[in-house]
Structure 1
Amino acid sequence: MSTPASRPGRPRDNALMRLEFPQSLAVYDDYAAAQRTVDFLSDEGFPVQNCMIVGTDLKRIERITGRLTYNRVALGGIGSGLWLGLFVGLIFSIFTEENTLGVIASTMVLGAAFGVIMALVGYAATRGQRDFSSVTQVVATRYEVLVEHKVAAQARELLAKLPGALPNPFA
């Protein structure tokens, strides 16, 4: 099993995320089935610290949530700006002895103005290239349960007792 390329500020080798000589125990189409397998092994007293669930074949899913218009973008910018203004106003109110409510209200108004301007400028810069809003998620299409080689036989014996278990063609 290869290790991922190191990133700045992260340790090159994270021992918690590795098994020394992993072997495939089972492959599933959903995470719940892989989790059920490890839970079953745990219930049977198996040393589950020798297990790992690995999601493979990653895909990105983007769900379109609506059409973007200048009005929707402006409303979103106002909302974001109000929250930013509220936060800044609360911070300022700690350090000032003036009218606290006035400080908070004025920073919220300025925040809303700043938010709407930035949102509209950003939207206009796309020039219609992305006129929709969406949410994205990265999901695995397969989940493989790996076990350390020294306990793989024990895991396979226990897994054969799991109700509804099928033989693993990948093992």
Structure 2
Amino acid sequence: MTTAFSQAAFSTGNRVPQLPTMPTGWPIGSYATYEEAQRAVDHLADNDFPVHDVTIVGVEPMLVERVAARLTWGKVLGSGAASGAWFGLFVGLLLGMFTPGAALAPILIGLISGVGFGMVFAAISYAATKGRRDFVSHSQIVATRYDVLAQPRSAEQGRDMLARFAMSSAAR
């Protein structure tokens, strides 16, 4: 399957692998954060380096789960009611558009039934966990370092450009 975005990537002659594959290329820089690696590749792009030869590789990835809040029955039912209200309002508005006469009744019925169903489904979902997960969290994958790789044909040039970039950044 191709899209307008993938067509632009393929126009350079490089094909992005469709299946998971190991990255190829020579290391031209190593950074402690993804932001630094991104900044390095941006510098290469700004200086007409063939960035289609570049890959950013997160080394030693780990899953980090940051706990955001404790779940209580009140929070569960409140969020179920809120999401149900939005869905019910949406359905009520759709029905109201196609109902002759007063459109307020379908909107109110949709809103009230949405709140009810949202609370019921949220309660069932929360009760099914049996207290094993009484918190909300956000997960992200991070790496201990990020290596910038370039294909051998342009690796030396990229390494030189990033070395000059690091020296000019350190001088600031």
Question: TM-score surpassing 0.5?
Answer: yes
Q: State the one-letter code of the partner of 1:105.
A: L
After superposition, residues 58-137 of structure 1 pair within 5 angstroms as: 58-137=61-140
CA distance in 1, matches of 2:161, 2:68: 45
Is contact 1:20-1:148 (8 Å) kept?
Answer: no
Identify the residue that residue 146 of structure 1 maps to in structure 2: 149
Structure 1 residue ranges without an equivalent (≥5): 1-13, 166-171
Is contact 1:21-1:149 (8 Å) kept?
Answer: no
Is contact 2:44-2:158 (8 Å) kept?
Answer: yes
CA distance in 2, matches of 1:59, 1:100: 52
CA RMSD of aligned residues (A): 2.3
Aligned CA distance change for structure 1 residues 134 and 160 (closer, same or farther; 3 Å): closer
Is contact 2:96-2:106 (8 Å) kept?
Answer: yes
Deviation at 1:106, TM superposition (A): 0.9
Aligned CA distance change for structure 1 residues 159 and 137 (closer, same or farther; 3 Å): closer
Deviation at 1:127, TM superposition (A): 1.2
Q: TM-score, normalised on structure 1?
A: 0.78
Q: State the one-letter code of the partner of 2:15.
A: A
Structure 2 residue ranges without an equivalent (≥5): 1-13
Identify the residue that residue 165 of structure 2 maps to in structure 1: 162
Higher helix share: 2
Deviation digits for residues 76-112 of structure 1 (CA, Å, limit 9, x no counterpart): 1111110110111122122221421221111010000
Deviation at 1:48, TM superposition (A): 1.8
Tell me which moved more, 41-50 or 111-120.
Answer: 41-50
Q: TM-score, normalised on structure 2?
A: 0.78
Deviation at 1:63, TM superposition (A): 1.8
Tell me the SS of whatever aligns to 2:38. Answer: helix
Percent identity of the aligned residues?
A: 41
The number of residues matched between the two structures is 152
Q: Following TM superposition, where does structure 1 have runs of at least 4 consecutive aligned residues deviating by more than 3 angstroms?
A: 17-21
After superposition, residues 14-33 of structure 1 pair within 5 angstroms as: 15-16=15-16, 21-33=24-36
After superposition, residues 3-14 of structure 1 pair within 5 angstroms as: none
